Structures are given as C-alpha cells and as structure tokens.
Amino acid sequence: MKLVDEKKALNEISALRKSRKLVESFATQQDAIDADKAKVDKVRKELDDPEQKAASKKFDELRKELDEINRRMDEVSKGRDGLFEERNAGEAHLSLASFAGSTELLTSSTRPLQSRSSSTTSSRARRLRPPPSARPTTSTVRRALFSVPRPPGPRSR
C-alpha cells in the first residue's frame, strides 16, 4: 500500500470513529423516543377503556341536563324580574295615590302636581291608609310576590 492510500485510510477511520459517537448518541435518543411511544400507547388504551367511555358519556349527558336547567332558571329569573318591576310600579302608583289624595291626579298626567308641605301630605296619607284589619299580612304579600312556578325536572341541592 502506498503512503497516500494509507493516509486516506487513516482519515477514513478517524471520520468513522467520529460518526460512531454520533450514531451512539442517536441510539440513546431513539430509546427515549421508543419509551415515550410506549407511554402514549398505554394512555390510549386507558382512554379506550369502556368504563372510561361510559363515564365520559354520562358526564356529557349530565352537563347538557345542567345547561338546560340553568337555561330554564334564567327564564324564570327573567319572569320574576318582570314581576318585581310590575310590583314596584304598582307600589309607586299606590304611594303616589296616597300622597296625592285622589285618583284624579293620577288620571290627568298633563297637569303638574302642586307642591304641598310635607306635614299636610303625611297627615293626608295617614287618613287615606286603610285600617290594619284591611291591610294584607306580610305572609300574604310574600306568597303573592314570590310564588314562581318551578321548572319541571329533578330537584338538586
């Protein structure tokens, strides 16, 4: 063998030794990749478990039912708010009638209210107030105001 060929062979051997170290580092990385793939397969098998699927399906059904109940409760709440507004308007109407002293002022909205002293208004309001026996009780008022129908379905607390 000639000297030039021997130098080429030595250079090739040293290059192969360097590439051998690179291949060994890739082998360790490949082992880590294979271990991760095994973990992924194990997790997929757990997710494909029939019990897990059934629990997930039941959870989705319960979530839909809860959303439906919440939607109904929102509708009831809106209706109740409307009733509260109606009640407040009625109370304002009654308080205005008791302060005005007659329903004539309530029906003629074009004529402005005349200013009166507060002592005259309060004594007039006291005179127009019904006697205690004719007034509704607190429990009667509460039942009338808060008797909102409940949505059908299971009750949960």
The pLDDT tens digits of the residues spanning 129-147 come to: 656 666 666 666 666 666 6
Question: Buried b / exposed e across 60-75, counting CB within 10 Å, b at 16+?
Answer: eeeeeeeeeeeeeeee
In 3D space, the residue among 54, 81, 74 whose CA is nearest the CA of residue 151 turns out to be 74
Confidence of residue 67 (pLDDT cuts 50, 70, 90): very high
The per-residue pLDDT for 117 is 47
Is the pTM above the cut of 0.75?
Answer: no
Residue of higher predicted confidence among 45 and 115: 45
The per-residue pLDDT for 115 is 47
Residue of higher predicted confidence among 37 and 130: 37
CB 97 within 8 A of CB 106: yes
The per-residue pLDDT for 93 is 79
CB 69 within 8 A of CB 153: yes
Contacts of 79 (CB under 8 A, 6+ apart): 148
